[in-house]
Amino acid sequence: MRIQRITLTNYRGVDLAEVTFDECGVTVIEGDNEAGKTSLVEALDLLLDERFKDRSGDRRVKAVRPVHRDADPEVEAEISTGPYRFVFAKRWGRRGMTTLDISAPRREQLTGDEAHERVQSILSETLDTGLLRALQVRQGTELALPSFVDTDLGAALDTAAGAVGDSDSHDGIWQAITAERDIYWTPKGKRKTILSDSQRSVAEAEADVASLTQQLAEVEADAERATRLASDTERLQQLVLQAEEARDECQRQVDAAEEVEGELSQLESELERLKTEAARARADHEARTDLVNEDARYRQEAAELRARAEKAAPALAAAQRHYDEAEAAHRTAREYFDQIQRASALADRDSEHLRQIIEARHLRARHERVAAAQERLDAANAVIESVQLDSEDVTQIEAAQQAVIEAQAAADAGSATVVTTGLSDVEVIVDGVALHMREGDEQVTDVVDSAEIVVPDSLKITVTAGNESRQLSSKRVEAEAALRMLCDEVGVANLAEARDALERRDAASRKLGRARDDIERDLDDLTVDDLASKAERLSARVAAYPNERTADVALPPDHDTALRAALDLRDELKRAKSALDSAVTILESAQKALHREEIDHAALTATIAAADTATASATQKLETARAQLADAVLGQRVAAAQETERAARTDRDASRRQLKKLDIGSLRDRLSNAGQALERARAALSKNRDDLRALQISLDLRGEKGLGAQLDAACSNRDRCIAQDRSLRDRAEAARLLHQVFERRRSEARQRYIAPFKQRIEQYGRIVYDTSFAVDVNDALAVSRRTLGGITLGVNQLSTGAQEQLGIIARLACASIVSPDGSGAPVILDDALGWSDPSRLRGMGAAINSASEHCQVIILTCTPGRYAHVGNATVVSPPMSPRLA
Amino acid sequence: MKFIHTADWQLGMTRHFLDGEAQSRFSQARIDAVGNIGQLAVDEECDFVVVSGDVFESNQIDRQVLARALDAMAATPEVTFYLVPGNHDPLDAASIFRSNTFRERRLPNVVVLEDSEPLPVADGIELVGAPWTSKRPLQDLVDQACAAAAPPAALRIIVGHGALDNRSPDASDPALISLERLEARIEADEVHYVALGDRHSTTNEGTTGRVWYSGAPEPTDYREEDPGNVLVVELEPGRIEVAPRSVGKWRFRQHQCHLSSDTDIDSLQQWLDALEDKQRTVVKLSLVGSVSLDQKERLDRLLDHFADSLAALETWERRSDLVVVPDDAEISTLGLAGFANDALGDLRELAQSSDPAEAVRAQNATALLHRLTRSAQ
């Protein structure tokens, strides 16, 4: 289809517009935005779309009505398509109108729906509307590389590829072939379960057959075995019979030998019996000899004992005598010892008594001394308590006295001295002290402070000491005061008194010590009271003793005498004791000797008695035995028994030799062996019967199964499975082969079919890019990949600009292929190539120019100059003006 | 004195080419044949029936078959059946004649000849059986039976089973029955009729007219020449008359045809149409030749149709060699163009391959294409 002209009237904002296009070549319509360029494309759609008749109230139709005027929009186009050339006009609205004026191939004029239908018929006959849309690149629509698969391009390519016939039905066959292949195989050529299932069925069926064949073979083998077993039965029965006979023969031989054995046994026991009898006869004979010997022995023993008893009698008498003597000596010694012992005890008591008398006296004396010492002690204590001073006090007083003396001496030296000398007897008072002075008496008075000498009634002289003298005197007074104070403290008048007091105290202390020593010595761990009571008790005892004592012997005069007597008696007692001990020893020895002799005597006496009894008993026994059987008879019996035994032994030995010859052991072994052989034969027969019975039962049971029928069925099933499997495999192989062959041929055809389109794209592409440009075109007749400069990229990986360029190149290629005979559709580019750089625009211009030799290209743009590189473009600018009319 | 000689009932036999329903009918027909033989004996006023071995297909058959066979023989209690075990049902430890089912249902008119002791069965008639006791006997059982039996006290019928030495290709088989010795005994008046089984085709053996294979009463295979008969034997001193009577209902037919044109297929169709009693007829075809895709389709439909109406229709794979080659008209009617046409050309080329497997595969693929194209159109 080519568009020669299009005229819009009352269309949107356009009152009237008309554009004329180059039928072959490029028409560029330049105009500002909103100038109505896109309306041209839209108007063409409305005009040609079968849905929009002139009465249409469709939203899209309403949308193109002028806004401010009540006018019906109208579109008229002059179009050629295929052999047809016509002018077609439509006005939508109340005054809707459709007119068609066909000028070629023959004239035709139609109006209304007839015109509408006719145009649709022409278009459907000559125009591929899908292609018409595919060849448009509209402003604002999504960039997409067009697929031309459902367009006239396919037919054109078919024609170019030289194919004839309906390609749709080939697709149908191809789908059917693929579907058939898919029944058996995966796209990658692997078997599907339908094949493996079938094979498994065959394998299972074969396994069934094998199993049943095996079972049947077993049945047959068992049947043959049963036959063998049945023939074995007879042989085994025969064997048992033979074994029984052999066993019986052995038994007979053994029985005969055992008879001999029985006889031998009897002979052996007879011999044993005779041996016993002979032994008994010998024993009887020996017993008699023993009795005779015993009797004689007992008699001899009794005689020997009696002789011994006679020989032992004097020794016993001597021992008795010796004992009697020892006993008398012992008695004498005992009596003397007792006497001395008593005397010694009395002497000891006397001595003690006398000693106690002395002790009692001593105790009393000690008591008196203690009492006296106590008195002294008390007196000394009284003295010590009365004296208040001690040696230190005296030392201090002595020091004070010395100080007074020194102070006196100093005062004396420094003071005036008044010497009063009596010229007669006179009474003088010196310093208040009345003195009676005789002639020649001299009284020296040291004046310390002052001194006053008065002669009564006559005179008073006052001497006053000088100052220094007074000071010295004052010191002396102080020393004296100190001395006096010390003395006062200890209750003495002066030093002498103090020394005296100290002397008394020391003396009392010494007395005290002595008194204490005395008391201590005399008490000697006792108290005074103890001492007293002890003395008292002792005195009482002493007083009592004379009354207790025997009066037969006089009490010795004194203690020493008593003590001496007692000691003498003790010595004597020791001697008596020693004599007594020795007498006891002798007595004991004698007693033991006597006792021994007495025992010996008694034992001998008893032995003699026993010997007498034994002798009597033996004699009795011998006599009794002899009364029963004489000694000679016994000897004869022994001889007879020995002879009989010898004869029996000869018989026994003969029998033994016979038995040995028969060899009963071997006979028994043979019998045992024959018995075992029989048992084995019987066991074998029994096992054979058991086996046969078991086998027969097993065969019967298996017979009930109908294995043969089962095998037949299994074989049939197997054959059927194999046949089915073969058939299935044949079908699968056929399907695969068919698919393979078709796929190969189809692929080759595809490549051939696509080739012109691909070549055309590459032809234009190389104008835009360079000679390295190449594309892959897929089955959907869309560009899938682009190769440039050796780099191949999927179209989705290309930049927006490159995708747009490729899209336009593909459209140009498509249009240039389908359009030459007047079919096809124009390539309409509405504001395209906005993303292309100037060099690409140049190339695109050249490509568009090249393509436009074969097809109509209509370009709408608001960018003057963008398509300046399209060589032979007709530029319509402005494309239309409002209100041309 | 008349009796019926039959053999090789092989009851319990199954045929793998028969599907379930046909197999049931086949089995039933063989049971029915037993009943028919009994009835024939009554009708022909025969004194008894001898069955010369292979009464049962094997000792391991389904016991149900045994029960039905006994039922069939019980239907004519006045007729006694003398059975001899053959190689299929030898009298071994697993023998069906010793099975519980057989023992429990022991019929007065069914006698198994377990040994070769002469058995008087009618006035002046005695039977000597030569039963098989294993599957592989090591001697001529018939000769052995004759030798073991006392001299005949009456007309003696030997009932035996096995191949005669004049027919067997395996001369070393020790179990072969010597025809010469038999004829000598017949000559010596020791034996008066030899009732044999094993061969399924009715056959008069040797020159005496007294040695017969009765054949199987119902056919079992395609190779059998004259099956489906029993023999009515009339025996008197110095005279014998043997008359085959057809009792078989089933037919086994094999047919070879060359197919290279529609006419050939027409002929095959006519041959099949002409078959009588189709539901008891088993057919094995060997197809040789070359047919077009259309002809093959027609042939397949034809065979499908007869496979349904016949008891069984087999194709004899070993003897079939049918090549399917599309003709030019078929090629053009497929309407294939372009690559599809190229692909078809490839397949046609492969179909001529020297590798038969590949050629068949290509033929099959071509046929498949044919079918798919048809259904797509």
Per DSSP, the residues of B107-124 read -TTEEE--S---EEEETT
- Number of inter-chain CB pairs under 8 A, A vs B: 164
Query: Which of A225, A711, A741 is facing B347, going by the closest CB pair?
Result: A741
Distance from CA of A757 to the nearest CA of B (A): 18
Rama region for B149: left / alpha / beta (φ>0; ψ in -120 to 50; rest): beta
**Of A157, A170, A213, A731, which to mutate for an interface test with B (greatest number of B Cβ within 10 Å)?**
A170
Helix or strand run (H / E) with residue A207: helix A193-386
Whether A734 and B368 lie within 8 Å, measured CB to CB: yes
Q: Is the pLDDT of residue B194 over 70?
A: yes
pLDDT tens profile A540-575: 888 888 888 887 888 888 888 888 988 998 999 999
Angle at A95 between CA A89 and CA A99, to 5 degrees: 25
DSSP states of A72-141 as a string? --EEEEEEEETTEEEEEEEE-STT-EEEEEEEESS-EEEEHHHHHHHHHHHHHHH--HHHHHHTEE-TTS
Give me the count of residues in chain A. Answer: 885
Query: CA-CA distance, A622 to A288, in Å (whole number)?
Result: 8
**Of A712, A719, A739, which to mutate for an interface test with B (greatest number of B Cβ within 10 Å)?**
A712
Angle at B117 between CA B116 and CA B118, to 5 degrees: 105
Chain B residues with CB-CB distance to A213 below 8 A:
none
Q: At what angle do helices A193-386 and A167-184 cross, to 10 degrees?
A: 60
Determine contact: A171 vs chain B, CB below 8 A: no
Q: With contact defined as beta carbons under 8 Å apart, do B373 and A173 qualify? A: yes
pLDDT tens profile B259-294: 989 999 999 999 999 999 999 999 999 999 989 888
Whether B61 and A709 lie within 8 Å, measured CB to CB: yes
Strands B119-122 and B125-129: antiparallel
Instruction: Spell A800-825 as b/e; 16+ CB within 10 A means b.
Output: eebbbbbbbbbbbbbbbbbbeeebbb
Q: Which of A73-87, A127-141, A184-198, B79-93 has the lowest mean pLDDT?
A: A127-141
Q: With contact defined as beta carbons under 8 Å apart, do A24 and A856 qualify? A: yes
Helix or strand run (H / E) with residue A689: helix A664-703
B287-316 mean pLDDT: 90
Whether A712 and B16 lie within 8 Å, measured CB to CB: yes
What three-state secondary structure class fits A785? Answer: strand
pLDDT tens profile A198-215: 999 999 999 999 999 999
Q: At what angle do helices A467-490 and A495-523 cross, to 10 degrees?
A: 20
Query: CA-CA distance, A320 to A457, in Å (whole number)?
Result: 140
Q: At what angle do helices A391-414 and A495-523 cross, to 10 degrees?
A: 170
* Number of Cβ atoms within 10 Å of the Cβ of A220: 20
Q: Which of the two residues, B228 and A751, has the higher pLDDT score?
A: B228
Determine contact: A715 vs chain B, CB below 8 A: yes
The pLDDT score that the predictor gives to residue A155 is 66
Chain A residues with CB-CB distance to B318 below 8 A:
none
Query: CA-CA distance, A390 to A367, in Å (whole number)?
Result: 34
Distance from CA of B338 to the nearest CA of A (A): 5
* Number of Cβ atoms within 10 Å of the Cβ of A465: 22
pLDDT tens profile A560-617: 888 898 899 899 999 999 999 999 999 999 999 999 988 988 888 898 888 888 889 8
Whether A222 and B336 lie within 8 Å, measured CB to CB: no
Distance from CA of B48 to the nearest CA of A (A): 29
Tokens found for residue A167: 């390609």
Chain A residues with CB-CB distance to B368 below 8 A:
180, 731, 734-735, 738
Task: Show Cβ contacts of residue B201 under 8 Å, excluding neighbours closer than 6 positions.
Answer: B213, B215, B224, B225, B226, B227
The pLDDT score that the predictor gives to residue A521 is 85
CB hemisphere CA count around A656 (13 angstroms): 9
pTM of the entire structure?
Answer: 0.53
A232-237 mean pLDDT: 91
Tokens found for residue A614: 């034994």
Tokens found for residue B28: 């039933």
Q: Scan for tokens 């049962």, then name that residue.
A: B56
Whether B340 and A226 lie within 8 Å, measured CB to CB: no
CA–centroid distance for B121 within its chain: 30
Reported as a pLDDT band with limits 50, 70 and 90, residue A165 is very low
Q: Is the pLDDT of residue A403 over 90?
A: no
Whether B57 and A219 lie within 8 Å, measured CB to CB: no
ipTM over 0.85: no
Determine contact: A595 vs chain B, CB below 8 A: no
Whether B60 and A219 lie within 8 Å, measured CB to CB: yes
Query: CA-CA distance, B157 to A72, in Å (whole number)?
Result: 123
* Number of Cβ atoms within 10 Å of the Cβ of A699: 23
Q: Is the pLDDT of residue A774 over 50?
A: yes
Helix or strand run (H / E) with residue B140: none
Nearest residue on chain B to A229, judged by CA atoms?
B93
**Contacts for B67-73 with beta carbons within 8 Å, 24 or more apart?**
B67/B101, B67/B105, B68/B31, B69/B9, B69/B11, B69/B31, B69/B34, B70/B102, B70/B105, B70/B107, B70/B110, B72/B31, B72/B32, B72/B34, B72/B35, B72/B38, B73/B34, B73/B38, B73/B107, B73/B109, B73/B110
**Of B339, B350, B353, B370, which to mutate for an interface test with A (greatest number of A Cβ within 10 Å)?**
B339
The pLDDT score that the predictor gives to residue A166 is 44
Q: Is the pLDDT of residue A443 over 80?
A: no
The pLDDT score that the predictor gives to residue B377 is 62
Query: CA-CA distance, A273 to A67, in Å (whole number)?
Result: 170
Fill in the DSSP letter of residue B290: E
Query: CA-CA distance, A810 to A827, in Å (whole number)?
Result: 11
Strands B211-213 and B203-205: antiparallel
